[in-house]
Amino acid sequence: MLSINNITYRIGGRLLFDKASAAIPDGHRVGLVGRNGAGKSTLLKLIEGALDLDGGSVAIGRRVRVGSVAQEMPDGAMTPLNFVLAADLERAELLTEADTATDPSRIAEVHTRLADIGADAAPSRAASILAGLGFDEAMQGRTLGEFSGGWRMRVALAATLFAAPDLLLLDEPSNHLDMETRLWLETYLTNYQGTVLLVSHDRNLLNAVAESILHLKDATLTLYRGDYDRFERTYRERQVHQAAAYVKQTEQRKKMQEFVDRFRYQASKARQAQSRLKAMERLGELAPMRPDHEVAFDFPDPKPLPPPLLTLDNADVGYEADKPVLRGLGLSLEMEDRIALLGANGNGKTTLLRLLTGDLEPMSGQIRRSSKLKVGYFAQELAEAFDLDSTPLRMMTSLLPDAPEPVVRSHLGRFGFTQDHTKVRIGALSGGEKARLLFAGITRDAPHILLLDEPTNHLDIDARDALISAINAYQGAVVLVTHDPHLVELCADRLWVVRDGGCHRFEGDMNDYRDELIAQRRATRSRARAQRNGSANGDASQDPAAAKADRKASRRAGAAARKVRTQSRKAASAASKALEALSAEKKTLVETLSDPVFYKEHADEFAALNKRHAEIDSAIAQAEERWLEAQAALEEEGAV
C-alpha cells in the first residue's frame, strides 16, 4: 500500500500540502486530479523521494519498485528497442554477468535467474509495447536521434512500462499520443498488474483506467471511489451539502449567540447562556464553501460572410516539389461548420491546417477564400515563441495598436486576465495561462474560422470544459485537431479522416471511429499471426493436392468450419459472461478495499482480498484475450 501521512510541503513560500493524507491499496489504479498549479506533479516527486517533505511521511511497502517516465528525453545512437530493453536493469546486469562470469556455480545461478524473469521473451515484449505506441519494426531499429521530441517521449514511456514497476507514477502520459495509441494505452493500463497513480486531464483516459480519483484541492487530498464521471457527480453533491450545512450551522450559531448576548448577565438565564456557549464550542465551525475558480473563454463573434468561406478544389499540398503530403483535396467550409480532423500522427493533419491558414499554397489545384476572410490559428509552438519578458497587456497592445487600453484590457478579460494579471511577466505564466493568452491573440480581430491544433495540451479539465462552452457558443467555423475524444464528441458535428495521402469525410461518430480502430488492430494481429503460421507451415494454398480435393472433402471442410464457428460463438459468449461476473466482483472488491473503515475493522482480511484482486485482474485479462480470439475467428469466417 502507498500511504501519504499528514504531509506538508511549501514551495517558494506557497503551501502546496497542508497535513494531507491518503491511502492507496496495492494493485489499485488511481487518477490524480486538480487545478493546474495545485501540486499534482510535485506530489509524484515527493512519492519518488526526489523532493524532501517539510512534514509528515510517505510510506511504501518493502521492496516495492517505483517507476516514472524520465524527464530527460532519450537521445543518441541507441535504437528504441535497445533503449527499452535497457530499462530492465536486472536483466541487463545479468546478461553482462553471463558473458563475463567464470565461476560455474555463478554462471548457473545467472542463467537460472534469467530464465525466471523471462529474459528470452523480453525483446518480444519490448517490441510489442513499442508497436502499441506507434513504432513499427523499421522505426524500432532506427536511432533515437532521428526522432522528434514527441516520439522520443513515447520511447521513454515504453521503457517505463516495460520495466513494470510495482508502483507506476504517470504524469500526463497521453500528451504526445494520437488517438490510436491512446486507445492502446487505455487497454494496457487497465490490465496493468501493479499500482498506478495517474495524473491526467484526459477525461476519457481517467474513465477507462481509474478505479478511484484522488482530488487535490486547497492543499488537501480526498479519495473518491469510481471513475472521473462518478467523482464529478459526487464532488458536486458534496459541494451542495457542504454549502447547505454551512448555512444551517451559521444560523444555529447566530441564534445561540443572540441568546447568550441577551441573557448572559441575568442570573435566572446565566446557566442556559453558559450551556449554549458550550454547545457552540462542541458544534465547531464549518468552513464556508470556497467556489472553484472559473476559467474564462469567450470568443468574439465574427461578422457574417456569404458561404462558402473557403473551398479546396482537387488541391495537392506538401513541402517538397513533386512530393505532396496530401492529394486531391476537395473540401469547403461554412460559418456553422464544426469539424474535427482525425488520423494518426504524421498523416498530414497539421499540413492541412497550414494550407487553410495560407502558410502553404497548393502545389496543384485551387484554394478559394472569401476576400474578407479572417483566420485564427492556434498552435502550441506559437505560445512557445512568446517574449517571456513582456506582459499580456504589452503583447496585446502591440497586436491591437489602434485600440484604446480599456478595449485591450476588455479583450484580455474574455480569457480570464484580470487587471493585475495583465501586468504579470509572461515567463511567469503557467502553460494553461499561456494557452489562454494565445487564444486572446488569435481572436483579437474576430476571425471567421478558428483552426485549433491540440488546444487542450496545457489545460486542466475545468479549462477544457470552459473551452468546449466557448467553441459551442462561437458563431464562426471551427476546424479542430485534437486527441481528446471528449472535446470532439461535444464540439464537432462533422469528422474528417486524414490518412493514405488524402482527407475524407467519416460517416459515423467517435464510437464508430473507435470501433474501426479496434477492428484495424485486430486485423493487424490476425495478419501477423497468419504470416507467422505461414512461415512455419508453408503456404497451403500453393499445394497442388489441396486444389484437387473432392466434394466429400469439401463437405467435410464445410462441416468443420461450421463447427468452428459454433465453438467460437460459444467461446465468445462464455468469455463475455465471465467478464461480466469478474468485473462485478472486482467492482465490489475495489469498493471494499477503498473503504478506510475496512482497514480498521478487518485488517486481517486485507492480504486475502488483495490477492483475490490480483487474481481477478489476471482472470479478466485472460477472459478478454479469449473473447478477442473468438471474435477474430468469427470475423475471419464472416460470421459477425
- Check pLDDT > 60 for residue 292: no
Q: 526-546: per-residue pLDDT in tens? A: 776 676 566 555 544 444 444
Query: Per the structure block, which three cell numbers stand in for 275?
Result: 450551556
C-beta of residue 415 within 8 angstroms of C-beta of residue 297:
yes
Q: How far apart are CA 386 and CA 329, in angstroms?
A: 33
- In the prediction, which pLDDT does 143 show? 93
- Check pLDDT > 50 for residue 179: yes
Q: How far apart are CA 558 and CA 412, in angstroms?
A: 71
Adjacent-strand bridge partners of 195 = 167
- Check pLDDT > 80 for residue 246: no
- Check pLDDT > 50 for residue 638: no
CA quadruple 212, 216, 217, 219: dihedral positive or negative? positive
- To the nearest whole number, what is the mean pLDDT of the chain? 83
- In the prediction, which pLDDT does 139 show? 92
Sort strands 66-68 and 167-171 into parallel, antiparallel or unpaired: parallel
Q: 94-146: per-residue pLDDT in tens? A: 888 888 888 878 888 888 888 877 788 888 889 999 999 989 888 998 999 88
CA quadruple 332, 335, 337, 343: dihedral positive or negative? positive
What letter represents residue 174's amino acid? Answer: S
Out of 3.10.129.10, 3.50.50.60, 3.90.79.10, 3.40.50.300, select the CATH number for domain 310-374+445-514: 3.40.50.300
- In the prediction, which pLDDT does 601 show? 67
- Check pLDDT > 90 for residue 475: yes
The secondary structure of 625-640 as a DSSP string is HHHHHHHHHHHHTT--
Q: 568-609: per-residue pLDDT in tens? A: 667 777 777 787 788 778 777 777 766 666 656 666 676 677
HEC-encoded secondary structure of 115-173:
HHCCHHHHHHHHHHHHHHCCCCHHHHCCCHHHCCHHHHHHHHHHHHHHHCCCEEEEECC
Where is pLDDT greater, at 401 or 116? 401
CA 504-501-480 angle, to 5 degrees, is: 50
CA 536 from chain centre, in angstroms, equals 40
What letter represents residue 561's amino acid? Answer: A
In angstroms and rounded to an integer, the radius of gyration of the C-alpha atoms of the chain is 30
CA 21-26-30 angle, to 5 degrees, is: 60
Q: How far apart are CA 197 and CA 171, in angstroms?
A: 9
C-beta of residue 56 within 8 angstroms of C-beta of residue 6:
yes
Q: How far apart are CA 414 and CA 412, in angstroms?
A: 5
C-beta of residue 64 within 8 angstroms of C-beta of residue 237:
no
C-beta of residue 247 within 8 angstroms of C-beta of residue 240:
no
Three-state secondary structure call for residue 10: strand
Cell 495537392, residue located = 316
Q: 341-368: per-residue pLDDT in tens? A: 999 888 999 999 999 999 999 999 999 9
CA 573 from chain centre, in angstroms, equals 31
Where is pLDDT greater, at 634 or 211? 211
- Check pLDDT > 60 for residue 21: yes
pTM for this structure? 0.70
Q: Which fold has domain 1-65+166-226?
A: Rossmann fold (3.40.50)
- In the prediction, which pLDDT does 180 show? 83
